[in-house]
Every structure is written in structure tokens, then in C-alpha cells.
Structure 1
Amino acid sequence: MMKKKLIGAFATILGLSLIVSMFIPTSTKADSNLLLASVEWVQAQLNPLQTKVNTLEKQLADQDAMIKQLQKAVAEGGNVVVTPPTTTVPDGSTDSPKVVYTSASNVKVHSGASRDYKVLATFGADKALTVIDQFKSATGLWYRVEVSSTVKGWVFSGDVTTTKPTSYIPTNVIAKQAVNVRKGATTNYQSLELVAKGSTLKYLGSFKNASGETWYNVQTAKGIKGWVLSTLTEVK
């Protein structure tokens, strides 16, 4: 409706300017140019308004889609998880942090971006969570995080921090490629086991050798304890 009114107003102004110009004698050409300049000024004022109208229409379309999803969820007994529409984050960036850390002792991960959704998991302080996506709802910014390889959920941004806690102790080491688990913290030591890319190893500790390399002391799924080079892995 707003869009139609703006277009109608502009058409009326433009039409009047054309009609007036037909009856303006040559001697008043300067006045005619002034009138056309006024029309151009009005058009310049309408352009930003048109952009705002387009933005509002897009937001209304997103909200309408979300309402339909909610109606479907209610009709099916509330078992459908509504996917929020893509929304720009507060700082205007679409980038999400890769990892967040729980900043309280009782942080809940929900099935949707609201505390009203089912609780999927509860974590204590300093738990590292991998971020998949983010969404700004009416209650604030939420992060979609990976609880496990099969479970994903939403955590409120106010319950986590992007700063790694000084007291943070990793629990797992993930192999970024095929990695040798060695008997000691240098490549001179023999390999006890070759683990595949993506393997999860239990973190036991870390050590920096004389060459300045950081190695993680780990335990494999087979129960073998050894050392892996930090640059070939990541801790979680």
C-alpha cells in the first residue's frame, strides 16, 4: 500500500510538470527549468523512501513465512522446529564466531532460538561449543551450536563468550588429517598408531619440546596413549 502511494505521488508530480511545460512560453524557459529541477528534487527524496519500503516488504515476507511455520508446528502438535529467517546481526556482519565458551555454570542449549524451546543439553562453565549459525530474535542474539555429531541446538549469546577462558582445559583433540600418535613429543619417536582424519582423541595434556613445537598427549579409541603434533590437530 505504501509503495503504491509513493508511486502515485511521483506520477502526479511528473504529470503536472509535463502539462505545465506545454503552456509555458519560450520567454519563461528559465522558470520551466526551475520546475523540472524541483521535480528531480522530489524524485531524489522519494528514492530513499522506496528503498525503505522494499526492505520492509522483505521483512514482512520473512515474518509471514515464520508465522506459517509456527502454525504448521501447532497443527502437528508442536513437533516441528521452526527455522528462523536469515537476519543481519547487530554489527551489520554476517560472520559468526567459530567457537563460543559457556560463561555460566548452568547453560542450556535449546531446540530453537528461544528459552521456550525444549532443552537439548546443559553445560557447566568453560565448555567449548562449535558455532554453525546465528540468529537475532526478539529476545536477542542466539548461536546455533554443535552439541554432538548428531545433535545441534541454540544457545543464548548472553550465556556464552567468544573469548577463550584462561582456565579452559580442552577435553578432545580432533585430527585435521591422518596423524601419527607417537611414543614421544617429536617426530623422531616411533608411531604407535595412525589415526584417520576426523578422529576424536582424548586430551591428556600438552608439552612444548626443545624445537618450540607444541604436542598433545592423547589417548586413542583403542586405549593407546601417545603424542600428536598440535598443528595437525585442533582441541575442543
Structure 2
Amino acid sequence: MKKRQIYTISFTLAIGFLIGGIFSPSIYSSAQSNVLIASVEWVTSQINPLKTKIDKLESTINSQAAEIALLKKSISEGGGLILPEYVYVKSNSASIYSGALTSYRKVANVAVGQRLKVLDEHTSTEKWYRVEYSSGQFGWILASDISVDPVNTPKTVKINKTTTVYSGALTTYRKVATLQSGQSVKYISAINSNNETWYNVELSSGLRGWIQASYGEVQS
């Protein structure tokens, strides 16, 4: 009886070892695969952000290379014109024209110190800049009337002809005072209104109003 039990136990163990031998490699292989997949996913998660940055950098480099190529081409063809972004009126009385000649229609007057946005440049007998002198208003101004550097803001306006001071920058506004020739008033600012330059001034009494620029000369 004992012999039979020993044989039974031995047989059971043998079967167990056999089954273990068959399935253990499979379990081990599966675990290995899971570790490998996890490693690949981690590496991919680290590489993808770097790849995105590299792609952006390549795009930037390509864009800059294209700009450089265009600039080289422009220079080789005699171009290479670099315009200032803004210019400043340096003449006491400067005019804006509809074209790059004084024979064109005068569209506005601009005050000394006024900043103008530059859009284009043209040289015929004289050098001209195409500028935006008011929102959505464009014209041409002589280069001799402007400076690429900011101009000192005027401090006073000397009246050269008796004029009226208005409450706004149009003659339709209320009249608030009269200024005589030779009189000086404090300069505040200047604007272009209805294609005409107006000075905002302050009288000795402290009263402020507007005069047409053609009736006064700004002084620093």
C-alpha cells in the first residue's frame, strides 16, 4: 500500500514538473515582453517632445534662410532698401502731397515733431517718403522735411498774424479768444484736421484752445 502511495506521489510530482516546464518559459517570455514594451513607450515619450522642438527649429531656420535668400537677391539686383519704421517732421511747416512731386495736390500739412509711419520711398529729382499721416490717410513728404530721429517738441507758438482761438480744431467750433501778431502762447500739441494742421495752445490766462498752424510759428 505504501509503495502504491509513493508511486502516486512521484507520478504527481513528475506531472507537475512537466507542466511547469511547459508553461514557465511562456510566463517568463510574457513578462519580458511587457518590460520591453514599457521601455519602448518611455523612450518614445522622451523622444516625441524633442522631435517637435527639432521640427519647429527646422521650420524657423528654413524661414530665415528664405528671407536671407530674398535679401541677397534684392541686394544683387541693386535693391536692399531698408526703410525706417517712423520719421519725424522737423520743418515748422511741412506739406503732404498726393504724389512724389510738389506739383501734385497738397493733401495735408503736418506739424513739427509729428511722427509719421513710413510705407515707401521714391527718388526723382528729390527724395520722398510715402507716409501715413493720420489713421487711414496716406501721402508723400519730402525727405528734407523729416528726420529719422525724434525732434524736440516745440515749447511755444509765436503768432505771425492776428488769429482766432477756437474750442476745437475746426473753424465751426466756438470762438474763445483772439491772438495778436507777435504774441507767444504755450504749445501743447498738434493734429491734422480736415487736411489742415492745428495747434493746441495755452494762453497766459490758462485758457486752452486751437489755432490754425498757418497763423503761428512753433519754437523750441
Q: Tell me the TM-score range normalised by the shorter chain.
A: 0.3 to 0.5
* Structure with higher RCO (Cα < 8 A, 6+ apart): 2
TM-score (norm 2): 0.40
Question: Hey, which of these two has a bigger chunk of helix by percent?
Answer: 2
Question: Hey, which of these two has a bigger chunk of strand by percent?
Answer: 2
TM-score (norm 1): 0.38
* Greater Rg over alpha carbons, structure: 2
